[in-house]
Structure 1
């Protein structure tokens, strides 16, 4: 069929033609915006889930909803940057938000005060010297200049929240890949939002990340579990998966027969990214306008090859030989979360020897810890890929430390 008309979107974070199974989360976000706008409080949210389940898509959808409600939307994809870089990013985004909330010529005392606090927040010194926002607004004294990220971010959130409230608007900070924030950065965000909640200001932080985020947030601030909801974004139900397959095709006058739909649902297991990838490949090989089980069978090999060469491979290529061996040993034990001692046994090592490797894989976002002592892959079906990509387990020899002379 015509590739230009292909309605499936197997791209990182790309919104599919039809978003299904996420209405509950969209309603929760809409309620958050409306309650904050009315000066009431409401728990914000940090969405958790494996790779490919649609967290980024949903976060983007939240951004569109907030813009439609005339909120200022600040979007960040977190990465392992220093606190100085994090501060600079936040300051630049808040500067833009203030200018969009009101032109400088019409700033009230509250708006001007917020700008001064943002300037103060940005006026930090790193090894290269002073970085500034490049606008002629003097810094506030005694606010956002403590040198402590949590205290400074709290001051700036309150000031900008007050400016937004005066304009009868709101500010939504949407952060993807929250697990890559440092403990200091996450704690600062939680503390800052906590203060805006206490003051009933229309400013909130909504995040998305891997499953360990709920634990990390709780470690950062004990009250995080009361400040946020942690909805789990998972695979789609059978009916939702069918809808995600059927409806995009129907927009182009194409239908699945029952056999094709059952097989496609079985292959993808309801994972949104897998649905988009398989739907795309079926469309490319089929003649249509009815997609058959044979079409799905023929597309399956291309679908698996595409996943192996991109979605899965990009993660394996980042791993060292020992990290690769650790993941291969996990895959040998099966798709479920695996106990550290069992993985070590398969590798012929002691758990203590492999503790640093396991921690590195968690830090890289390749594994997460669903419970103490266990680790699981952050990507669905990664165990099967490891068995295909690394046919045999090869554990590098233990590196002996050289004796000091």
Structure 2
């Protein structure tokens, strides 16, 4: 097939040409915007799921929907930063949103007030002194300047929400990789959204992250479970997976044999990223229309090699030898969530000895805890990859602590 016409998009966060199986989530988002725009309250959303299931793609869909509804959008991919950097980032994003809601020359009292609160929020005293937001707006006094992140962010979001409400518009804050926010940052964000809900303001937060987010949010604020919906984004149903495989090709007037689709669904197990990767490799190999089962079978090796060298490998490359051994031991036990003591036995260690390693892998986003005492991979089929990439389990020796003299 012509590579230039390849309709599949195996890129991180790239929206496929045809998004299927996510109607429930997009409907929920439209309802959220509609209710907030009408002055009612509604639960915000934090989508949870493994890597490669399309959470980022959904956030992109939400951005487009928000723009269609004339809402302003703030987009951010969370990373591990201290509170000072978090303030700077949020202040910059809120400043941009306010300017897009209304040009500075047209600011009303609410617009000026929002700007001054954002300025106050942005001021962070650290070893480098005061950070400048980049505009000559005096900071407010008594709002956004408490020095407590949750209170200050609440003031900033309320002020921006009031400015948006006056313009008969709204602001949607879309944050990806929420699990990388610190506990204090997540708590501040939840607290701020709670305050906007109490004021019935048209401002909302929609996040996406790994499965541990629901637990982290609950730990941060006990009312988070009432403030947010936590829809799970999972693999596609067999029917939707078939559509995701066949419809992009059909748009290029290329068909699949039924048994070719059956094999593609079996190989990918309905995971959206895997479908895009396999579809891409099949397109590159196939020479005849319709695409046959043999084409899919021949593409399988290139498909697995591509996943191994990119999607999987970048995660293993971040791990220390002991972290790699821990994941290899988990893989040896199977794809299901594994108990900590069972993994420790495979490693020939006590649970207490490898507990810190397990915690590090969770903090890195490579594992999550579906229930107490268990851990699972955040990437589908990572157990199979570990068995391929690390054929033999090698456990580093215990490092003895040097005695103090």
TM-score by length of 1: 1.00
Answer yes or no: is 1:375 the counterpart of 2:375.
Answer: yes
Give the structure 1 partner of residue 165 of structure 2.
Answer: 165
Give the structure 2 partner of residue 70 of structure 1.
Answer: 70
Answer yes or no: is 1:4 the counterpart of 2:4.
Answer: yes
Give the structure 2 partner of residue 254 of structure 1.
Answer: 254
Answer yes or no: is 1:145 the counterpart of 2:177.
Answer: no
Give the structure 1 partner of residue 237 of structure 2.
Answer: 237
Task: Give the drift of 1:279.
Answer: 0.2
Task: Give the drift of 1:123.
Answer: 1.4
Give the structure 1 partner of residue 211 of structure 2.
Answer: 211
Matches within 5 A, 1:5-404: 5-404=5-404
Structure 1 consecutive aligned stretches of length 4 or more whose deviation exceeds 2 Å: none
Task: Give the drift of 1:288.
Answer: 2.7
In structure 1, how many angstroms separate the alpha carbons of the residues matched to 2:156 and 2:201? 12
Task: Give the drift of 1:126.
Answer: 1.9
Q: Which moved more, 1:382-391 or 1:96-105?
A: 96-105
Question: 1:186-238 deviations in whole A, cap 9, x for unaligned?
Answer: 00000000000000000011000000000000000000000000000000000
In structure 1, how many angstroms separate the alpha carbons of the residues matched to 2:299 and 2:190? 46
Instruction: Answer whether contact 1:254 1:288 (CA < 8 A) is retained.
Output: no
Q: Secondary structure of 1:400's match?
A: coil
In structure 2, how many angstroms separate the alpha carbons of the residues matched to 1:289 and 1:351? 55
Task: Give the drift of 1:385.
Answer: 0.3
In structure 1, how many angstroms separate the alpha carbons of the residues matched to 2:181 and 2:353? 27
Question: 1:296-338 deviations in whole A, cap 9, x for unaligned?
Answer: 0100000000000000000000000000000000000000000
Question: 1:58-107 deviations in whole A, cap 9, x for unaligned?
Answer: 01110111011111100000000111111101101111111111111111
Task: Give the drift of 1:133.
Answer: 1.0
In structure 2, how many angstroms separate the alpha carbons of the residues matched to 1:342 and 1:335? 14
RMSD over equivalenced CA pairs, Å? 0.5
In structure 1, how many angstroms separate the alpha carbons of the residues matched to 2:319 and 2:10? 24
Question: 1:355-387 deviations in whole A, cap 9, x for unaligned?
Answer: 100000000000000000000000000000000
Q: Secondary structure of 1:172's match?
A: strand
In structure 2, how many angstroms separate the alpha carbons of the residues matched to 1:110 and 1:259? 62
Q: Secondary structure of 1:361's match?
A: helix
Give the length in aligned residue pairs: 405
Instruction: Answer whether contact 1:329 1:393 (CA < 8 A) is retained.
Output: yes
